[in-house]
Structure 1
Amino acid sequence: MRYTNKTLGTGDFETVENSITVVSQDKTITISSAKENLSKVFIYDISGKQLYKKQNIGNVELSIQHLAFAQQVLLVKVVLENGYTTTKKLIFK
């Protein structure tokens, strides 16, 4: 056996969450990722009903236009190609 006085390290973590933005403007929702390609996007209303679904995106940005949603709070679930999943809250006007 050999003992050393080194401490274990975890290295630097990359925060993927801060690189995903979801913006609503003029009845258009724009979802973008700075580091990874988008894989899937789901949009739910506040009660959990799925309003929109898009898969196999393969791009770093997605614009969804001409949505017929009323003014409400939406939950946007984004899945990246590396498997990272996040959900963002959005006020759709």
Structure 2
Amino acid sequence: MPRITLPDGCRGLDMADGTKYTKGPGDKVDVSQAHADAIRRGYYGQSGIMRGGEQFTLGTKRGMACTPCKRVWNAWNHECPRCGAPTEEQTA
């Protein structure tokens, strides 16, 4: 299921079909594929205000963790794209 990251100040999504997703600013919301596609095609997706959906079409099951950033990157990221620190294989 696609996941959308809500921008600062956003407390949820009200979709055209009446579906509501309620969370807090910066939270991740699991949305249907149809809603992710609609967001991606719309202004907020095209401008990068809302991120997600497309992020989850490419990735790896195992990740490489950056301890300073507290983020997990794809398996091929042996160096953190954000801070440049070396990454370590994610443990379950």
TM-score by length of 1: 0.30
Task: Name the larger-Rg structure.
Answer: 1
1 or 2 for the larger relative contact order (CA 8 Å, sep ≥6)? 1
TM-score by length of 2: 0.30
Please identify which structure carries the higher helix content.
Answer: 2
Please identify which structure carries the higher strand content.
Answer: 1
